[in-house]
Amino acid sequence: MHYARKGVVTEEMAHVAARERVDAALVRDEVARGRLVVPANVHHTNLEPMGIGIALACKVNANIGNSAVTSDVEGELHKLKVAIKYGADTVMDLSTGGDIDRIRGAILQSSPVPIGTVPVYQVLKERKKVSDIREDDFIDMLEHQAEQGVDYFTIHAGVLSEYLPLVQHRITGIVSRGGSIMAQWMIENKKENPYFVHWDKVLEICARHDVTISAGDGLRPGCLADASDAAQFAELKTLGELTTRAWAKDVQVMIEGPGHVPFDQIEMNVKKEMELCHEAPFYVLGPLVTDIAPGYDHITSAIGATMAGTAGAAMLCYVTPKEHLGLPDENDVRAGLVAYKIAAHAADVARHRPGARDRDDALSRARYAFDWNEQFRLSLDPEMARSMHDETLPDEYFKSAEFCSMCGPKFCSMHINRAVEEFNKELEADRKAGKRTLGVFTP
């Protein structure tokens, strides 16, 4: 942001522009106004810079990380590999147990995509109880993780003591882990949120290491009944105020958005964020559009994510099938990512981004030509597409067959349509030859 405001296109901005096939000046101008962020900690040396903003393609984040119940560095590295393979634009390490430093260090060394964290998780892990956390611990952990190379922090600075009574009548209360930790700390210490009080210190650390702030929605709704309430929007207004203070110090900011929202309220939520947070990039979890499908929340949320992306959200945080049920494994990571790559792509098509539909059209042509291998190649999940086709027609001969097992050789509509093609060619030839017909068919 510092260089963008001086009119300079940095190497990172140029790289983002090349990846997105947009003009570098557009990236520079959007970064300067705060509507686009390039999360790139100066210590994350193997990073391939990417951009998050409404002027670019809609992005997808994948959450990984262990829990207090399971701790396995190799397992998290494998999930990182799967996440990158299926198109994660950024990855958040949400580890809450084991050797968090070792896990995060391994992830940073292996990741070419930006890595985000929620630093307060490690604060609680090390202090063991909220009551034992000192005020300085919150700020010291930011410095520690920034030095390690984390590209963006989720910081719940908008959870203020005056907002806590606003959640009293919610069904699910405060569902954000970070938000609940901050709330308990304020209650036990009878002090205001340390991140809010010491915001200038937060900004100094982020500016020095070039860490992007992901302003956490600690009071986000955890069910449809709690969506769009006074607590959620009070926090959002405060995040907007903190954003302007961050921009004054050349610190990049994106705003985290709600997780459970009825479908008809999603566009309103996106527009409200743009208004209150001055168009800082919106990074939404889902949103889930219904609460009745545990085990299928990658679907319930991808529906909402498509709407959010179409309305202007810049990045979608995936939800896996195991959301609300347990710690995701590699299969959950794959299912969640594919669902969200679909949602992000559908939003890009709906927003008429240049070239967004090119892949769809290419796959459609391959489908009509019965070029099965090209269909597989163009698929978001080529392995899944190929395996489903090969379940019933595995022989190589069927990779060029003009049918699949759904319709068989006699009932394939696209094969039958060849007759319509020939008919239209004859009509066109007649027209060019000057033959007149009163209708397609004449008595």
pLDDT of res. 394: 83
pLDDT of res. 439: 60
Read off the pTM: 0.94
Averaged pLDDT for residues 187-202: 98
Nearest to 201 by CA among 155, 149, 241, 162: 155
Reported as a pLDDT band with limits 50, 70 and 90, residue 418 is: confident
pLDDT of res. 229: 98
pLDDT tens, position by position, 329-386: 999 999 999 999 999 999 999 999 999 999 999 999 999 999 999 999 999 999 999 9
Percentage of the chain with pLDDT > 70?
Answer: 98
CATH number of 34-350: 3.20.20.540
Residues recorded for the chain:
443
Residue 203 has pLDDT above 60, yes or no: yes
- List, in sequence order, every residue forming a beta bridge with 312; answer none if it has no partner: none
pLDDT of res. 405: 79
Average pLDDT across the chain, whole number: 95
Residue 438 has pLDDT above 60, yes or no: no
Q: Which residue has the higher pLDDT, 407 or 119?
A: 119
pLDDT tens, position by position, 301-328: 999 999 999 999 999 999 999 999 998 9
Rounded to whole angstroms, the Cα distance separating 227 from 297 reads 17
pLDDT of res. 412: 85
pLDDT tens, position by position, 247-265: 999 999 999 999 999 999 9
pLDDT tens, position by position, 54-82: 999 999 999 999 887 776 889 999 999 99
Reported as a pLDDT band with limits 50, 70 and 90, residue 440 is: low
Reported as a pLDDT band with limits 50, 70 and 90, residue 441 is: low
pLDDT of res. 393: 83
Q: Which residue ranges make up each domain of the chain?
A: 34-350, 358-432
Residues 6+ apart with CB under 8 A from 301: 259, 285, 286, 287, 288, 289, 318, 319, 323, 339
Residue 443 has pLDDT above 60, yes or no: no
pLDDT tens, position by position, 114-154: 999 999 999 999 999 999 999 999 999 999 999 999 999 99
pLDDT tens, position by position, 81-95: 999 999 999 999 999
pLDDT of res. 71: 62
SS (H, E, C) the chain: CHHHHCCCCCHHHHHHHHHHCCCHHHHHHHHHHCCEECCCCCCCCCCCCCCEECCCCCEEEEEECCCCCCCCHHHHHHHHHHHHHCCCCEEEECCCCCCHHHHHHHHHHHCCCCEEECHHHHHHHHHCCHHHCCHHHHHHHHHHHHHHCCCEEEECCCCCHHHHHHHCCCCCCCCCHHHHHHHHHHHHHCCCCHHHHCHHHHHHHHHHHCCEEEECCCCCCCCHHHCCCHHHHHHHHHHHHHHHHHHHCCCCEEEEECCECCHHHHHHHHHHHHHHCCCCCEEEECCECCCCCCCCHHHHHHHHHHHHHHHCCCEEECCCCCCCCCCCCHHHHHHHHHHHHHHHHHHHHHCCCCCCCHHHHHHHHHHHCCCHHHHHHHCCCHHHHHHHHHCCCCCHHHHCCCCCCCCCCCCCHHHHCHHHHHHHHHHHHHHHCCCCCCCCCCC
pLDDT tens, position by position, 219-229: 999 999 999 99
